[in-house]
Copies of this chain bind each other. A is one copy, B any other.
């Protein structure tokens, strides 16, 4: 493999649609990116013909793993007995430095557990987080929200770290030079919300200048898809409920639309005429296009693709992984967190703002 190649580690076995969908997504991404190489983990007997069929044998290094982590397996069980699984092997390739980023469609809890014990937390990070993309009114079409479920707790220090990790992700993953960060609360007034939120509010505000981001203050649930914020910070309990509530609402409305258009012969004609318009809308808010939750705060980057991702979804997750690998995201995030915690320590004693020169891209 050439020195300018980007190597992505792929867990080919975890998804609902099986390895065929994953390999098909890999081929889709490879078409657009000649420098892409894969380390593919899973059952060699199944993978070899699929890879040959898609004509990507040359860029794939298959690492056989006989076991698969199922969607309902408990994380604690996988941590103890998961060594022979494709998921474990895929993470291991990142740990060993053979690949920069890992992509898996598998069980989120197990993937986080294995990532935690094998990759370990970045120095200075207390709780890793999962960042997701959210369809929004911003020109990019989405916002970043974290944590959406890595941990059900987060205190003020964690929330500040989430802000810094989200900053680094928005800058390196999506090229937003000066992201606008908001803190999720039940109102935008300063006196609202839990005690730790009020403290985090002040901490994030104080960190904005030295870390080159704009802090927009408290935001509410209705602001998550708005164009006045790029990164929304919250604890993993609230973030997970919000994410699933939004998915549930979108599903209810889609169902309602489908029923409405089936109601009468006239509405069926309308549906036919409206089809291109509706397809444009669906594309805009299609979860497959923004597929990929990213685990932040570990020594190595893990992209969690949706369990039900098809080739388009897998390819979107790989695209994100490539962007993160090529930007050197992992090191930059680690530097950002480390420099912020140093700055915090110095500020505590000397009151001087500390910004390392040349870290604006972290």
* Contacts from A to B (Cβ < 8 Å): 74, 135-137, 149, 152-153, 184, 186, 191, 193-194, 220-226, 234, 236-238, 240-253, 255-257, 259-261, 263-264, 266-267, 269-274, 276-278, 280-281, 284-285
- A71 shortest CB reach to chain B, Å: 12
Determine if B221 and A241 form an interchain contact, defined as CB atoms under 8 angstroms apart.
yes
Bound: A287/B135 CA distance, A? 22
This chain's copy number in the assembly: 2
Known contacts A240-B221, A246-B246; decide if A273 and B284 are in contact (CB<8 Å).
no
A72 to chain B, nearest CB (A): 9
CB distance from A228 to the nearest CB of B (A): 12
Which residues of chain B are near A236, meaning CB under 8 Å?
186
Chain B nearest CB: distance from A74 CB in Å?
8
Whole-angstrom distance between the alpha carbons of A311 and B238 in the complex? Answer: 35
In the assembled complex, how far is the CB of residue A155 from the closest CB belonging to chain B, in whole angstroms? Answer: 14
Distance in angstroms from A262 CB to nearest chain B CB is 9
Q: List, in ascending order, chain B residues with CB within 8 A of A153's CB.
A: 194
Which 9 pairs between the two chains have the least Cβ-Cβ distance? A221-B244, A270-B273, A221-B245, A270-B274, A222-B248, A260-B277, A267-B277, A260-B281, A186-B240
> Do B241 and A186 touch across chains, with their CB atoms under 8 A apart?
yes
Interface centre among A253, A259, A272 (most CB of B within 10 A): A253
Contact between chains at A237 and B193 (CB < 8 Å): yes
Q: Which residue of chain B is the closest to A226 with respect to CB atoms?
A: B248
Q: Which of B184, B247, B251 contacts A241 (CB 8 A)?
A: B184
Determine the distance from Cα of A260 to Cα of B281 in the docked complex, in whole angstroms: 6
* A257 and B236 alpha carbons, distance in the complex (Å): 31
Q: Out of B152, B194, B280, which one reaches A194, CB within 8 Å?
A: B152
Q: Which chain B positions have C-beta within 8 A of A273?
A: 266-267, 269-270, 273-274
**Given A152-B194, A270-B273, A242 and B245 contact (CB-CB distance below 8 Å):** yes
A226 to chain B, nearest CB (A): 8
List the B side residues contacting A280 at CB < 8 Å.
260, 263
CB closest chain-B residue, reference A191: B74
Residues from chain B with a CB closer than 8 A to the CB of A137 are: 252, 255
Give complex CA distance A191, B236 in Å: 16
Complex contact B237–A224 (CB within 8 A): no
Nearest-neighbor residue (CB-CB) of A135 within chain B: B252
Q: Could you tell me the distance in whole angstroms from the C-beta of A272 to the nearest C-beta in chain B?
A: 8
B256 close to A281 (CB less than 8 A) = yes
Verify A244–B222 contact, CB threshold 8 A: yes
CA distance A280 to B262 in the complex (A): 12
**Which residues on B sit within 8 Å (CB–CB) of A184?**
241
Q: A242-B242, A270-B274 are in contact. List 17 more A-B contacts (CB 8 A).
A: A186-B237, A220-B241, A220-B244, A221-B243, A221-B247, A222-B245, A224-B245, A226-B248, A237-B238, A238-B241, A241-B241, A253-B253, A259-B281, A260-B274, A260-B281, A261-B277, A270-B272
Residue of B whose beta carbon sits closest to that of A271: B274
Of listed A152, A234, A241, A276, residue having the most chain B CB within 10 A: A241
A246: chain B residues at CB < 8 Å are: 221, 245-246, 248-249
A277 contact set on B, CB distance < 8 A: 260-261, 263-264, 267, 270
